[in-house]
Amino acid sequence: GAGVSQTPSNKVTEKGKYVELRCDPISGHTALYWYRQSLGQGPEFLIYFQGTGAADDSGLPNDRFFAVRPEGSVSTLKIQRTERGDSAVYLCASSWDMWTNYGYTFGSGTRLTVV
Amino acid sequence: GENVEQHPSTLSVQEGDSAVIKCTYSDSASNYFPWYKQELGKGPQLIIDIRSNVGEKKDQRIAVTLNKTAKHFSLHITETQPEDSAVYFCAASRAVNAGNMLTFGGGTRLMVKP
């Protein structure tokens, strides 16, 4: 597609529920990144993929968070047993690959609210 | 790990004036420094970037300078316009072997008054 697409744009869920956030990267981009942005702060790294494999998941806050990219294109960020502190905007970005310094293209994000 | 600090947190200028945003970083191995503009309800958009092998880069009204010795870099916007109003983020990356994972500053809210 023309840009990075994230769905849903907004998600409200109850504490303790499971949520999935989807990211469609730009066609041909092999690197995909997930960031989390709390209100009034800069994005914080969660995980990135080169192709199908998670090259670095050191930013995932705990084992309730998991992400997959089974076919090297679409990625899903999964959050189990959601907590109110998980409320934030989850941003996805893609780039040509992880070895060159090309800038990312970010999606518009999914605003997650845990009530 | 890398730590990026950004100043000021808010900046108000008159249309036509210049705006300068400054960032410092801690990891001397960082070699890629992009700047992003984020408008309300949208994701960050790359506006300019600089690599550690150059000291300055310019693109129309926007320029970035890098001082590797002091570990700081700055964004300069000249002839500001109301549409420049947004939140600006600097970032740093070791890139290549580190997979271009970005560490962002806390952001600067720029307001351009007409």
Provide the greatest CA pair distance for chain B. Answer: 45
Looking at beta carbons, which residues of chain A come within 8 Å of B21? none
* Average of per-residue pLDDT values in chain A: 93
Judged by a CB distance cut-off of 8 A, whether residue B102 touches chain A is yes
Q: Per residue in A38-47, is it b (16+ CB within 10 Å) or e — as a string?
A: eeeebbbbbb
- Supply B101's token pair: 């994972």
Q: Chain A residues with CB inside 8 Å of B91's CB?
A: 42
**Rounded CA gap, A110 and A9, in Å?**
4
Q: A57-110, pLDDT tens digit by residue?
A: 999 999 999 999 999 999 999 999 999 999 999 999 998 876 765 678 999 999
- pLDDT tens, position by position, B26-37: 999 999 999 999
pLDDT at B56: 95
Q: What percentage of chain B exceeds 90 in pLDDT?
A: 85
How many other C-beta atoms are found inside a 10 Å radius of the C-beta of residue A111?
17
Instruction: Compute CA distances B108 → A2, A33, A81, B87, whole Å.
Output: 28, 23, 34, 5
Minimal C-alpha gap between A101 and chain B (Å):
6
Find the distance separating the first CA and the last CA of chain B, reported in whole Å. Answer: 41
Tally Cβ neighbours within 10 Å of residue B78. 14
What is the distance between the alpha carbons of residues B1 and B93, in angstroms, rounded to a whole number?
11
Q: How far apart are the first and last CA of chain A?
A: 33
Q: Which of A21, A96, A101 best tests the B interface by mutation, with the highest count of B CBs <10 A?
A: A101
CB–CB contact B51 A101 (8 Å): yes
- pLDDT tens-digit profile of B20-71? 999 999 999 999 999 999 999 999 999 999 988 889 999 999 999 999 999 9
Q: What percent of chain B has pLDDT over 70?
A: 96
Tokens standing for residue A34: 């997930």
Q: Any chain A CB within 8 A of the CB of B41?
A: yes
Rounded CA-CA distance B80/B16 in Å is: 5
